[in-house]
Amino acid sequence: MFLLGNGAGFSGDRVDAPIPVLRTLIARGLPAAMFFETLGERTVALAHLEKRRDPALGYEPMLERLLEPILAPAHAHRIPLLGNWGAANPPAAARAVARLALAQGLPGLRIGLVEGDDVTALVAGGQLPVHEADAGLDMGAWSLIAANAYIGAEPLVEALRLGADVVVAGRTSDPALAIAPLAHHFGWRFDDWQALAVGAAAGHLLECGSQVTGGVFWDPGVKDIPDPANIGFPIAEVTAEGGLLITKAENTGGLVDLRTVKEQLLYELHDPAHYVTPDVVLDITRCTLAQEGPDRVAVRGLIGHPRPETLKVTASFEGSWLGEGEVSVAGPNALARARATADVLLERLRRRGLSVRARVDLIGVASVHDSDAGVLWRAYEGPEPPDIRIRLAVESARRDDADQAAREVLALLCCGTAGTGGARWRVTPRILTQSHLVLRERVPTRVTVREAREFAA
């Protein structure tokens, strides 16, 4: 049996979560690995912009904080750590791991660096077809930041085969980080679709960390979980025969049951017969689950189909500007004052002729479920909320227009309805993304495995 733990589900996850996972893996004494998924579509674009400002940056900002408490015990117990912490700059992330290893007296720690996912030149040259889902997007007006291909597990396996204790990658597919240590341990071939389906399912269930152990699941009084301030991150038990069981770190909060596993199994899934990864196409239409004990759920009936010939590419662009302004009203007649404020803000944008697309939310009445036209808050007939925050959001190709529009909220401190306060406003650049497809042979990867002392030099 092999144990696979997850230490992070996104960039911004709880940085103390990996510690109980590693402790559990060590206590169980079985062959094991841990993976960290910290790279969203926008995270990589932001990292590229950071790398432009400072060539030593552009990797996961929490990398050192995540690894500091676990690097030495993981190394001592031969538990490899894999992550896409590299973001826009995998070599810089590898050097950061090397510095940390040296500081902890581990000069012989072996670091595997996986490169080659950056396909910016292919997108810039207009050589890649746009993914059908994004066919309607015209990026002609915007400037390309970068483009990265979602690479599969094979180069990660190569790094493990060369003895890497820590594998640092950039834009991998999320499940690849889970498939790689399993394929390495069990010697899976990359055309064994059945085995790879088990790995892809393990990756899919674990890649969002606590989302399979109670995170974004708990609904107080309806779906309660133990100790939500200390949700245990997940661990998969995988057998040579293709058995898969989901459990979690010991002595932690959260839970694993049929409900948590079902929610995560269907998360970001479209056609359940075709969950496409670079390594295998996963089919869960025959999948069944069984609770085998407290916090233990077995996953059976997974089906694998051959992998696609193409890899998905996410290209990011510097887009327009987002202006946002907020102000509050509360107490008697708050709803009428909020509605009037919303209408006046839109009238001000019209009178000033600002070139913006605008939306107003009445937070506390209707916001996240509403439309840009404010259909829900305009039609609202319920009781008067005691406290409403009015939010103006605008988009413009011109920074100054976005800024001027957002400042209209500020002006309400004097010009607004009675009892208006708490103004905040800001303007931020938007990053746009567009998916492309690339033939996998056009994305050659490079794997380098060296000791920390060599990487740090």
Partner 1 sequence: MSEVEVPLHRLAHSRAGDKGNRLNLSLIPYDPALYPILAEQVSEARVLALFRHRGATRCTRHDLPLLSAFNFVLDEVLEGGVNGSLNLDGHGKTHSFRLLSLTVRVPEALAPRG
Site of interaction with partner 1 (CB under 8 A): 41-42, 133-134, 137, 216-217, 219, 222-223, 259, 262-272, 284-289, 301, 319, 322, 357-359, 361, 363, 367-373, 375-376, 391, 393-395, 430, 432-433, 435
Q: How far is the CB of 394 from partner 1 (least distance, A)?
A: 7
Distance between CA 66 and CA 93 in Å, rounded?
13
Strand partners, 143: 318
Whole-number minimum distance, CB 439 to partner 1, in Å?
22
Calpha distance 305→102 (Å, rounded): 44
Q: How far is the CB of 173 from partner 1 (least distance, A)?
A: 13
Q: Which is nearer to partner 1, 188 or 217 (CB)?
A: 217
As measured in angstroms, the least distance from the Cβ of 91 to partner 1 is 29
- 94/128 with CB nearer partner 1: 128
* CA distance from start to end of the chain: 38
Least distance in angstroms from the C-beta of 275 to partner 1 = 11
190 versus 267: smaller Cβ distance to partner 1: 267
Query: Cβ closer to partner 1: 90 or 323?
Result: 323
Nearer residue to partner 1 within complex by CB, 247 or 433: 433
CA–CA distances in Å: residue 125 to residues 25, 32, 119, 128: 46, 43, 10, 8
CA distances from 84 to 59, 150, 205, 206, 207 (A): 9, 11, 17, 15, 11
Closer CB to partner 1, 98 or 206, in the complex: 206
Give the shortest CB-14-to-partner 1 separation in angstroms: 18
Report which of 127, 47, 145, 136 is spatially closest to residue 93, judged by C-alpha positions: 47
User: What is the Cα–Cα distance from 78 to 68, expressed in whole angstroms?
Assistant: 16
Q: CA 206 to CA 13: how far, in whole Å?
A: 13
Q: From CA 342, how far away is CA 62, in angstroms rounded?
A: 39
The residue among 194 and 288 lying less far from partner 1, judged by its C-beta, is 288
Quote the least distance from Cβ 395 to partner 1, whole Å. 6
In this complex, which beta carbon is closest to partner 1, that of residue 28 or of residue 42?
42
Supply the DSSP string of 261-278, one letter for each residue.
HHHHHTTT-SSTT-EE-S
Question: Taking the CA atoms of the chain, what radius of gyration do you get in angstroms?
Answer: 25
The CB-of-289 to partner 1 minimum distance in angstroms stands at 7
DSSP notation for 10-58: STTS-TTTHHHHHHHHHHHTS-EEEEE----HHHHHHHHHHHHH-TT--
- Give me the torsion for CA of 184, 185, 187, 189, rounded to 10°: -50
Name which of 97 and 284 has its Cβ closer to partner 1: 284
In whole angstroms, the minimum distance from the beta carbon of 236 to partner 1 comes to 18
In a 13 Å sphere around the CA of 103, the CA atoms on its Cβ side amount to: 11
